[in-house]
Structure 1
Amino acid sequence: MSAPLLEVENLSIALSQGGKSYKAVEDVSFAIASGETLGLVGESGCGKSITALAVMGLLRQPLSLGGGRITLDGGDIHNLPPAKLRQLRGKRIAMIFQEPMTALNPLSTVGRQIAEMFVLHAGAGWSEATDRTVDALRQVHVPSPERRVKDFPHQLSGGMRQRVMIAIALACSPDLLIADEPTTALDVTVQAEIVDLMQELCAAKGTAILMISHDLGLVANMCRRVAVMYAGRIVEQQAADEIFERPQHPYTRGLIASLPRLGARIVHGRQRLQEISGVVPAITAFPAGCRFRPRCQRATDICQSNDPPPTPLPEDGLVRCHHHG
């Protein structure tokens, strides 16, 4: 990989609860090059979204940074003062949140919310910013943008609200876009439109993407590399082709095996899907040794007594498993 645009090294995120501190995320490392798309996948509760919030500098109590380093173009950003972080967010790093209805301000028109980006980060006056806002909505294929700039979020459909979120995120041509489940609340047809739109605009602007998703099909289609997260740790990271064709970690294999497949056996009118037994452990009750051990069919005594270290794989990959391969 070329010199990384974003580099996260040994990131830990602490959760304070009842006078105790727990590691919600521990020893997470990954890098993204300019123009690259990295997929971050895993079940709900494994730490994907709070990792993204840490990169954005948006962690709030009871969550806090517990260690590690976050750099953008080689410069530390994890300890920047709030004013410097506000200058960075929107201009160089932007984020599309899971649910646009809660991310957008319900008391402000969508036009003003986009125009603020040009005023705050591009030094434009409000008149110029309004003109640029119409162009931004046109870029994300919002019909009648001259009229839509006056609409409030509740007046738009879910797909249109997500397009507005993309317009806000890409308004100032950021170097990095973090997309946190950007298609979760949308129907399948609109999902495809949003994904194509993101790829088109980011390719035109040379924007790198951190794609957080449960949709492995989407990740396989969009991402060059994939990191698999479980119980606050990255358990496997490889090139997308490798991870889908030759997964190394039992958890990764379980995720891929759970996908529906064309031509699979149909029983009583239904295709029986494989599943991973159990659930992701609570951060207050991570098991000793390998955190995936209680759900793993290949676990042995060493998995209970020893925490598996990261094992290097080709092309900057890694896996955390005593029995990988």
Structure 2
Amino acid sequence: MTQPLLKVEDLRIALAGDGVTHNAVENVSFEIGRGEAFGLVGESGCGKSISALAVMGLLKRPLSVASGRIVLDGREIQDASPAEWRNLRGSKIGMIFQEPMTALNPLSPVGRQIAEMFVLHEGAGWTEAMDRAEEALRQVHVPSPERRIKDFPHQLSGGMRQRVMIAIALACGPDLLIADEPTTALDVTVQAEIIDLMRELCAAKGTAILMISHDLGLVANMCRRVAVMYAGRIVESRPADAIFATPSHPYTQGLVDSLPRLGERSRRGRQKLREITGVVPAISSYPSGCRFNPRCPAATEVCREVAPGISPLPDDGLVRCHHHG
């Protein structure tokens, strides 16, 4: 990748409180090329969403970008002013939030919320913007868009609200789309429709995707490359087919082993899923050494005392583990 669209380099996000500052995220680096779908996976609380919010310039106190670089299309944006961020959001970067019911304005019809994008970023008049909003709803396969533009969010189903979020995020043809758990709380048939819709629209516009999810099956189906986060750090980053076929980090191995597989059954005729014991540590109590060591079955004394560095893998991947592979 000679010129990535998005480059995040050594990102550190600080959490301040009670006179103490903790690193919620640190040493996070990844690149996304134009038109590429890149996955960021891990358990809840590992730092995926706040990393995405940093890219969007939406971190709020007590969180802040403490160091590192966020480069979009060759331009550093981590220190952009509020006015510059407002210009970037919607026109250059779009985001599908995890829960559309809370992300959408409950007091405004969905058509007006889409039309605002054309008014703010492209200088369109409201009449033209409403016509384009109707067309945007038609593109995301909302039935009867001429009627739905007048509906409020609570009048739509979960799947329809997610389609409205996609229409808002892609209205002005952004270069990068951040999808934060875009299929949460949707049934499996609607999930498939939403993913197919995102893939279709982004392919047509050449939009790159940062897919954030704990659903490994979804990421495997959607993304070309995947990074795995644990306790605020990326522990493995590789091509998607390699990371699911031969995971190198023990945490990635645990995630992959926990996936159900068709055709596999136990002696009693029921498939028993493997699990990773323990929970993701709180930001204020990250362990010394490797942060996964309290839950890792392969941990040794060096894992408990020394934080592992980044090791290259032969498939153009990276892993953070003393005993990788």
Q: Do they fold alike, i.e. is TM over 0.5? A: yes
| Structure 1 CA distance for aligned equivalents of residues 316 and 178 of structure 2 | 21
Partner residue, 2:28: 28
Partner residue, 2:190: 190
1:231-275 residue CA offsets vs partner (Å, 9 max, x unmatched): 000000000011011111000000000001111124666421000
| Structure 2 CA distance for aligned equivalents of residues 275 and 79 of structure 1 | 41
Letter in 2 for 1:174: P
Letter in 2 for 1:154: H
How do residues 115-126 of structure 1 correspond to structure 2 at under 5 angstroms? 115-126=115-126
Partner residue, 1:147: 147
SS at match of 1:271: coil
Instruction: Report deviation, 1:185.
Output: 1.4
Q: Are residue 42 (structure 1) and residue 42 (structure 2) matched? A: yes
1:184-218 residue CA offsets vs partner (Å, 9 max, x unmatched): 11000000000000000000000000000111111
| Structure 1 CA distance for aligned equivalents of residues 85 and 46 of structure 2 | 26
Partner residue, 2:247: 247
| Greater than 3 Å deviation, 4+ residue runs | 266-270
SS at match of 2:5: strand
Structure 2's unaligned 5+ residue stretches are: none
| Structure 1 CA distance for aligned equivalents of residues 225 and 203 of structure 2 | 16
SS at match of 2:61: coil
| Structure 2 CA distance for aligned equivalents of residues 270 and 17 of structure 1 | 48
Partner residue, 1:318: 318
Q: Are residue 257 (structure 1) and residue 265 (structure 2) matched? A: no
Question: What is the aligned-residue RMSD (CA, Å)?
Answer: 0.9
Q: Kindly tell me: are residues 184 and 54 of structure 1, through their superposed partners in 2, closer, same or farther at Cα, counting changes over 3 Å?
A: same
SS at match of 2:114: helix
Letter in 2 for 1:169: A
Partner residue, 1:165: 165
1:116-168 residue CA offsets vs partner (Å, 9 max, x unmatched): 00001111110100110010000000000000000000000000000000000
Q: Kindly tell me: are residues 267 and 315 of structure 1, through their superposed partners in 2, closer, same or farther at Cα, counting changes over 3 Å?
A: closer
Partner residue, 2:69: 69
Letter in 1 for 2:131: D
Q: Are residue 91 (structure 1) and residue 88 (structure 2) matched? A: no
Letter in 1 for 2:284: T
SS at match of 1:70: strand
| Structure 2 CA distance for aligned equivalents of residues 51 and 243 of structure 1 | 21
| Structure 2 CA distance for aligned equivalents of residues 32 and 314 of structure 1 | 20
Letter in 1 for 2:95: M
1:79-137 residue CA offsets vs partner (Å, 9 max, x unmatched): 01000110000000010000000000000000000000000111111010011001000
Identity, in percent, stands at 75
SS at match of 1:133: helix
Q: How many residues align?
A: 325
Partner residue, 2:230: 230
Further displaced range: 257-266 or 216-225: 257-266
1:215-234 residue CA offsets vs partner (Å, 9 max, x unmatched): 11111111000000000000
SS at match of 2:49: helix
Instruction: Report deviation, 1:315.
Output: 4.8
Further displaced range: 315-324 or 93-102: 315-324
| Structure 1 CA distance for aligned equivalents of residues 311 and 296 of structure 2 | 18
Instruction: Report deviation, 1:2.
Output: 3.7
SS at match of 1:234: strand
| Structure 2 CA distance for aligned equivalents of residues 133 and 65 of structure 1 | 34
1:51-97 residue CA offsets vs partner (Å, 9 max, x unmatched): 00000000001111111000011111010100011000000001000
Instruction: Report deviation, 1:17.
Output: 1.8
| Structure 2 CA distance for aligned equivalents of residues 114 and 196 of structure 1 | 21
Instruction: Report deviation, 1:314.
Output: 3.3
How do residues 99-138 of structure 1 correspond to structure 2 at under 5 angstroms? 99-138=99-138
